[in-house]
Amino acid sequence: MPITSLSGGNQQKVVLGKALMTQPQVVFLDEPTRGIDVGAKTDVYHLIGKMAQQGLAVMFSSSELDEVMALADRILVMADGRITADLPRHAVTREQLIAASTPQD
């Protein structure tokens, strides 16, 4: 069965599975849940958590604030091509993330 015949969420899980087969030490994910349904997002969140628990360094970019706040231990925010905030998850608020991601004139 070709991967293109799978749903977007299942395609994403296959891509993550293939990446893990190489036994990486670091994984970079760009918008890992964009365009997939809520159930598949939950599965991807569990996979990301499992990777981190196994000692893998997981870096990801996401425009979904709730996703970032739920998954990240450390949050770097960028605006205008530069880092505008470096925040630990336990001390961050949604408002801080929005303010840091808004370009300053």
Global confidence as pTM: 0.78
- Band the pLDDT of 72: cuts 50, 70, 90: very high
| Burial status of residue 11 (CB atoms within 10 A of its CB: 0-12, 13-18, 19 or more) | middle
pLDDT-above-90 percentage for the chain: 46
Does residue 75 contact residue 100 with C-beta atoms inside 8 Å? no
Instruction: Kindly provide the residue ranges of all beta strands, DSSP E only, lying in 24-88, ordered along the sequence.
Output: 26-30, 57-61, 74-79, 82-88
Walk me through the domains of the chain, giving residue ranges and CATH numbers: 1-63 (3.40.50.300), 73-105 (no CATH)
The number of angstroms, rounded, from the C-alpha of 74 to the middle of its chain's C-alpha atoms is 12
